[in-house]
A and B are shown apart, each in its own frame.
Chain A
Amino acid sequence: MNHSLLDASAEAERYIGGLDSRAGDWLAERRRSAVLGIQQLGLPDRRQERWRYSGIDGLLDGNFSADWESTDNPLPPLESVMPDGTQAGLLVFVDGSFQAELSFVNDTGIQFTSLRAAMAKGDRKVLAALGSLSGTGRHAFSAINLATMQDGAVISVSPGKSIDQPIELLHIATAAAGGRMLRPRHLITLDKGSQASIVERHLCLDADGYFNNVVSEILLQEDARLDHQRVQLEGSQAYHLSEVHVQLGARANYRAINAAVGARWSRTEINGGFLAAGANLDLEGLYLAGDGQLVDFHLDVVHGVSGCSSRSNFKGIVYGQGRAVFDGRILVERQAQQSDAHLTNANLMLSRGSEVDTKPQLEILADDVKCSHGTTVGQLDPQAVFYLRSRGLSPSQARRLLCLGFASEILEGFGNVSLRGQLADHIQRRVESIDLENV
């Protein structure tokens, strides 16, 4: 319990002390309660049901510091990781700090401020919304984020506005991130009847051994529609923890597609809830775990009101010393009649030494509902491999094609073509290079 990560509270206190009066007591109060939360929640351990399959020893050994001030090192060249195509907005975060000079917003329907600016200004509306969906969190890491948050994106889309081009949230970890815990926190609100699409990338540029501890709170008001494409391509020694909290108003529609292929250890927690009937939550995911990686997805979809639907579909490929953990929970509460909730998880194991732990859960307290879940663990169909080889392909080529086929159902959901291509290339490159004899 006396791990240095918990010293984050000291960092928080230091920051609270440095608050100027404009930020008000409100933020200090919020940070203080989060500091309490850090102590109360404590660090996760494997005796906790939600952490049963994901140890954090490596993360603790990393001794990542939660220092507050960002370093003033000059930025390395970032051209290679900047996105192509056109965007309605590009918001760049380097090592967790917003970079105004690299960013822009081109659409009048989007209001944007950085979290740092909002906190400095004492923007009451933003401050009140912080933590309103996440609470203090379920474990010390999310409380640490709230206690020591430094920057992030505060985005809102005006009522009835339809933003045609994507808004890109680009996170880049540079060499300066080494040894540190980054703590971006995003707040996204889509007002009534608005529509937007957000592409969120987590990339790495020559960084080693950092911990990216991201929290996003997303509120969709009535009839709003958000398409959220998330890609985690962190560095091979990185630790990544994403917590997404989504609340949907009446008839709102949230579709998220999550790809987790990078990082040494990554965990994505998606918490979805409904405020009124007619809303729909659609979660998709794709993960690839090899080379000593652990990829963990936790879904918590709560049907607390009647007449909403949710669908979750996650697929993963594991090989080498890779481990995949999937924990998908659907809760339908007593009053949530006419809920429609389905979840599937399919896993492909390519080689010895890998491991899949999957745990879908249904908790149903209402009777007039349609709920199901299904999960599979299997391997490539030997018949299919044989067929491709009989047409002249090498075993590794056959494997590459079949894995791509397995992943395509999810990949096709990426509306952003360059992103889709990048992911497809990444997956193909990695699965083709697996040395099945020596893993």
Chain B
Amino acid sequence: MASPDAGVDRLIQAEYQQGFVTDIESDTLPPGLDEDVIRAISLRKQEPDWMLQKRLEAYRRWLLMSEPQWASLHHPPIDFQAISYFSSPKKGEGPKSLDEVDPELLATYEKLGIPLDEQKALAGVAVDAVFDSVSVATTFRQTLAEAGVIFCAMSEAVREYPELIQRYLGSVVPPQDNFFAALNGAVFSDGTFVYVPKGVRCPMELSTYFRINEANTGQFERTLIVAEEGSQVSYLEGCTAPMRDENQLHAAVVELVALDDATIKYSTVQNWYPGDSQGRGGIYNFVTKRGDCRGARSRISWTQVETGSAITWKYPSCILRGRDSVGEFYSVALTKGRQQADTGTKMIHIGENTRSTIVSKGISAMEGSNAYRGLVRIAGKAENARNHTQCDSLLIGDRCAAHTFPYIEVKNPTAQVEHEATTSKVSEDQLFYCRQRGLSQEDAVSMIINGFCKEVFKELPMEFAVEAQKLLAVSLEGAVG
């Protein structure tokens, strides 16, 4: 009889499926960071002076800060002077239509299954694709424009909608917030701006695919979504990156603002290059994501499926300021090989009757290390605040690690806060049972894992949920014995 590991070793060898490099000439700044580099970035992006000043202010704050050390992560020191802070595909003027887009680039998107083409459009997906740092194509702005929704590259928004950007950019995540947010504030390359006017329900799911391409190019995306009173928007973010030998730094900032009765749903599938089996290469992903439920009855929901990156440092948070506002965080984080993730959320209850829900599913396989770190804070004035947190860890193999670090701070005696955490493994009994019914070992594992993650997957938009399930299955191939 074969050992339970049979057929598994060969799958462990499965290499990163999305690993290829697109050969396009890039317009890249030499490595290093000083005020001149920031001026150069600003100049190339034809930014107004106020934007440059914002960047410089962030840079000056960054100089005074140090890298956070508290996370359960271990990596060699990052040399911030060895990183190139700007890269854009060389094409002079931006393309007016898909015909103008480099065919090789389009082919890359095809391979990745990115819905840039007409068919996908008809399926109702609008795409602001970010190739390295500059938006190269934007579709369906017409439909969105008719609804009054602004959906454009951040660099364009800085030029076209300065009053909105000045008002909201940095209002949720100020540059002094943390080391990586300050860095992003100084050098952010591009990103997405979404503005949904009062009472508008965004007519389609908005989706941006990120892609890291240029070697040694830090990615510093900046996303801002503003949902005015009574509006609704669902935003999908998915990403995949070509294989690289050197660690690549990614420090994005996402800010969400929901006013009275507005709803923002932000979904992420993250599958960046995790490094090879020895832990070489792989993305360092230091992200600051925060939503501000500024208005009464507003709602912000974060859903993430994190399977990539060598290092994930990410705590999508909600500030529940408006009364009756709701914050949600649903997460699946998978680490295998030498991957490390320290991820979770912060729910800051400030307003009355605010509610939050946290569901975190961590899967650690091989030598992966997975930490949930979450803060639930109930401020003194947050009458009748409620939080429920469920953190489950699944361990696969005896060399992985799963940690749970919740912080619960309650200053109001009407609050009800519940936190539960469990640890389990894929049991031999379960595998035997499934195989006895005819399923292969791999199918059995994938079925059990998907069962474990179900509560999170059901929060994803349908097509994304299917993708996420597939991604998890692919990622786990070979990890289970």
A residues sitting closer than 8 Å to B (CB atoms) are: 49, 53, 334, 337, 347, 349-352, 354-379
Residue of A351, A362, A367 with most partner-chain B CB within 10 A: A367
Contacts of A377 in B (CB 8 A): 378, 408, 410, 415-417
Q: B120 in the interface, Cβ–Cβ < 8 Å? A: no
Of A354, A363, A370, the residue contacting B401 (CB under 8 A) is A363
A349 in contact with B398 (CB, 8 Å): no
Contacts of A349 in B (CB 8 A): 410, 412-413, 415
B401 in contact with A365 (CB, 8 Å): yes
In the complex with contacts A372-B423, A378-B417, A364-B393 CB distance below 8 A: yes
A371 CA / B418 CA spacing, docked (Å): 17
Residue of B nearest to A324 (CB): B410
CB distance from A227 to the nearest CB of B (A): 29
Q: Which of B372-416 contact A (CB under 8 A)?
A: 378, 380, 393, 395-416
A359 CA / B410 CA spacing, docked (Å): 11
B410 in contact with A374 (CB, 8 Å): no
CB distance from B55 to the nearest CB of A (A): 30
At the interface, is chain B mostly helix, strand, loop or mixed? strand
A-B contact pairs, 29 of them (CB 8 A): A337-B398, A351-B413, A352-B413, A354-B411, A354-B413, A355-B409, A356-B409, A357-B407, A359-B406, A360-B404, A360-B406, A361-B403, A362-B423, A363-B401, A364-B393, A364-B401, A364-B403, A365-B401, A367-B425, A368-B398, A369-B425, A372-B421, A372-B422, A376-B418, A377-B378, A377-B415, A377-B417, A379-B414, A379-B415
B398 in contact with A360 (CB, 8 Å): no
B403 in contact with A362 (CB, 8 Å): yes
A366 CA / B399 CA spacing, docked (Å): 7
CB distance from B197 to the nearest CB of A (A): 39
A352 CA / B411 CA spacing, docked (Å): 8
A297 CA / B408 CA spacing, docked (Å): 15
Contacts of B425 in A (CB 8 A): 367-369
Contacts of A361 in B (CB 8 A): 403-406
A362 in contact with B404 (CB, 8 Å): yes
A20 CA / B459 CA spacing, docked (Å): 73
Contacts of B417 in A (CB 8 A): 375-378
Contacts of A366 in B (CB 8 A): 395, 398
CB distance from B243 to the nearest CB of A (A): 29
Residue of B nearest to A361 (CB): B405
A360 CA / B403 CA spacing, docked (Å): 11
A102 CA / B334 CA spacing, docked (Å): 62
A378 in contact with B408 (CB, 8 Å): no
A373 CA / B415 CA spacing, docked (Å): 20
A138 CA / B415 CA spacing, docked (Å): 34
A371 CA / B401 CA spacing, docked (Å): 13
A349 CA / B378 CA spacing, docked (Å): 13
Taken residue by residue from 423 to 434, chain B's Cβ proximity to chain A (1 for < 8 Å, 0 otherwise) reads as: 111000000000
Of B400, B409, B418, the residue contacting A357 (CB under 8 A) is B409
Contacts of A364 in B (CB 8 A): 393, 395, 401-403, 423
CB distance from B473 to the nearest CB of A (A): 20
B residues sitting closer than 8 Å to A (CB atoms) are: 70, 378, 380, 393, 395-425
Residue of A53, A351, A378 with most partner-chain B CB within 10 A: A378
B410 in contact with A360 (CB, 8 Å): no
A261 CA / B190 CA spacing, docked (Å): 57
CB distance from A392 to the nearest CB of B (A): 25
A379 CA / B393 CA spacing, docked (Å): 29
At the interface, is chain A mostly helix, strand, loop or mixed? strand
A229 CA / B406 CA spacing, docked (Å): 29
A367 in contact with B397 (CB, 8 Å): yes
Contacts of A355 in B (CB 8 A): 409-411
A334 in contact with B399 (CB, 8 Å): yes
Cβ-closest 10 pairs across A and B? A367-B395, A349-B413, A371-B423, A362-B404, A377-B417, A374-B420, A377-B410, A372-B422, A356-B410, A367-B425
A352 CA / B405 CA spacing, docked (Å): 27
CB distance from A313 to the nearest CB of B (A): 14
CB distance from A321 to the nearest CB of B (A): 11
A368 CA / B419 CA spacing, docked (Å): 23
B393 in contact with A375 (CB, 8 Å): no
A165 CA / B424 CA spacing, docked (Å): 42
A351 CA / B416 CA spacing, docked (Å): 13
Contacts of B395 in A (CB 8 A): 364, 366-367, 369
A204 CA / B320 CA spacing, docked (Å): 45
CB distance from B74 to the nearest CB of A (A): 14
In the complex with contacts A334-B398, A334-B399, A360-B406, A378-B420 CB distance below 8 A: no
CB distance from A437 to the nearest CB of B (A): 14
B398 in contact with A356 (CB, 8 Å): no
A149 CA / B285 CA spacing, docked (Å): 50
A350 in contact with B413 (CB, 8 Å): yes
A368 CA / B407 CA spacing, docked (Å): 26
Residue of B nearest to A368 (CB): B425
Contacts of A350 in B (CB 8 A): 413
A209 CA / B378 CA spacing, docked (Å): 33
Contacts of B396 in A (CB 8 A): 367
Contacts of A379 in B (CB 8 A): 413-416
B402 in contact with A362 (CB, 8 Å): yes
A371 CA / B395 CA spacing, docked (Å): 11
A310 CA / B420 CA spacing, docked (Å): 17
Of B378, B397, B412, B421, the residue contacting A362 (CB under 8 A) is B421
Contacts of B380 in A (CB 8 A): 352
Contacts of A359 in B (CB 8 A): 405-408
Residue of A nearest to B418 (CB): A376
Contacts of A372 in B (CB 8 A): 420-423
Residue of A334, A349, A351, A368 with most partner-chain B CB within 10 A: A349
A364 CA / B396 CA spacing, docked (Å): 12
A254 CA / B420 CA spacing, docked (Å): 25
A205 CA / B405 CA spacing, docked (Å): 41
B422 in contact with A378 (CB, 8 Å): no
Contacts of B408 in A (CB 8 A): 356-359, 375, 377
Contacts of B70 in A (CB 8 A): 49
Contacts of B397 in A (CB 8 A): 367
CB distance from A301 to the nearest CB of B (A): 14
B416 in contact with A375 (CB, 8 Å): no
B410 in contact with A369 (CB, 8 Å): no
A59 CA / B448 CA spacing, docked (Å): 53
A360 in contact with B423 (CB, 8 Å): no
